[in-house]
Amino acid sequence: MAGVYGGYWVNVEILYEFVERLLDAEDGNSVQSRLEGAAAALSNLANSPQDQNHQKALSDAQLRIKESFDSLDRFFDASDRDKLDEIGASYFFSPDLLAELKEKIQQNPMSPSVVHQYLQEILQERSRLLENLKSLKRNLSDLHFSVPDLDAEQVQLGFRLPRAMFGNNFDGFIKELGTLKFVVNSFSIIIVGETTEIELGQISTSNPLVFLGVKGQIAFAVAASVTWGLDTWQRIEEIRIFRKDAAAVEALEPLTENIDQIIAVQVENSIEKRLDELEKTHTIDVEQRASLRKAHRIILERLEQGMNLEIRMLEPELPDVETDDDDEEVSISEYPEELKTSMGISSIRKELKFPKATGKPLLKLSYPTTKEAAKYK
């Protein structure tokens, strides 16, 4: 079921999951209560401006608020930040709030009551937002919406596909899903030795967001290659910008004549370098390398046209490992492979940032041939 969310149509379960995660993050980091602690310290300071205990209390409160916002910053990934922007809540979960509070304190060293009034208004607005979120969660729960369970052995890769990519055409959309299947299985073959059963998870409308459930090892490889694609795309964008700037200067215009060829070489070299990296840890034959080459080109082409990736997973829990020396730290290399994979995916998830596509795409969309796609049915 879909509903309106921040001007976009989305899957209601995705909305419910986000609201639940947001409220859990709020409770786990005590943001509101720590802001209230700062307000109490400001109130006391306004009544007794010379009392050093109140001054210290305000300083301590700011440190605790910073701890909360730093923790939230690590908790949210780029897609979370986009959702916060959509519902107009980003500021209330951002270090910017604390930065502005500190600025107010510096601007009004002799008037803590002014800062107190400012913070009280922030607290009231933030409290209304939290109550609205709690009410939304209760209402959705009453309508029997819930967060789909995640399997500890499975990761869900959410591909957001701009409608322009498939011409807002159903057959084009189905073709894109088949292309995603080819990409995922190109990795599956070299990682687990066979094609994988891909579980269809949540689907949202607007620009469709399709979640595909796969094994953690496969998800890690795909996500790492999306990161590679973003880095490669950034270099292409720099070349694009150079061409635009150079074209505006007559003396530099000749330098732009071979730009398309330069970009093509850049893409091919980057793909081959990525495949060489994969071969360091996986056995890849000639046919598999050809499929992976096509898969990486597909990823890069679609990133340029606005494809995004979201990742749903259970966050890894670090084990309690006993050592002979209480002060000795356990090396990550000693963790089980499954845990290291989960940690790698979690790290990528939090760092994924997708810039907006600019200008006409330089790369034409390609698709697996009928023969290539048939290998992964």
Domain that holds residue 272: 154-318+330-374
pTM for the full model?
A: 0.73
pLDDT tens readout for residues 40-73: 999 999 998 888 898 899 999 999 999 999 988 8
The confidence score (pLDDT) of residue 324 equals 53
DSSP-derived 3-state class of residue 272 = helix
Residues 16 and 87 in one domain: yes
Rounded CA gap, 107 and 87, in Å? 30
Residues 222 and 268 in one domain: yes
Residues 109 and 160 in one domain: no
DSSP 282: S
The confidence score (pLDDT) of residue 326 equals 52
Residues 208 and 350 in one domain: yes
State phi, psi for 204 to the nearest 5 degrees: -115, 160
Residues 350 and 303 in one domain: yes
Residues 128 and 267 in one domain: no
Residue found by looking up tokens 């209760």 in the block? 138
Q: Look at the alpha carbons of 231, 237, 239, 245 in this order and tell me if their dihedral is positive or negative.
A: negative
The confidence score (pLDDT) of residue 191 equals 92
Residues 118 and 161 in one domain: no
Q: Among 322, 344, 347, 317, which residue's Cα sits nearest to residue 333?
A: 344
Asked which of 88, 121, 142 is the last residue of a domain, the reply is: 142
The confidence score (pLDDT) of residue 6 equals 39
Tell me what the mean pLDDT of segment 357-368 comes to. Answer: 82
Angle between helices 216-247 and 286-304 (to 10 degrees): 60
Residues 235 and 362 in one domain: yes
59, 38 Cβ separation under 8 angstroms: no
353 or 319, higher pLDDT: 353
Residues 29 and 168 in one domain: no
Evaluate if residue 4 carries a pLDDT over 70.
no
Residues 356 and 263 in one domain: yes
Asked which of 110, 142, 174 is the last residue of a domain, the reply is: 142
The confidence score (pLDDT) of residue 210 equals 87
pLDDT tens readout for residues 124-150: 999 999 999 999 888 878 876 666 677
Greatest mean pLDDT range, 14-18, 108-112, 119-123 = 119-123
pLDDT tens readout for residues 279-317: 999 999 999 999 999 999 999 999 988 899 989 888 877
Domain-located, residue 3: no
Residues 120 and 23 in one domain: yes
* Count of structural domains, the chain: 2
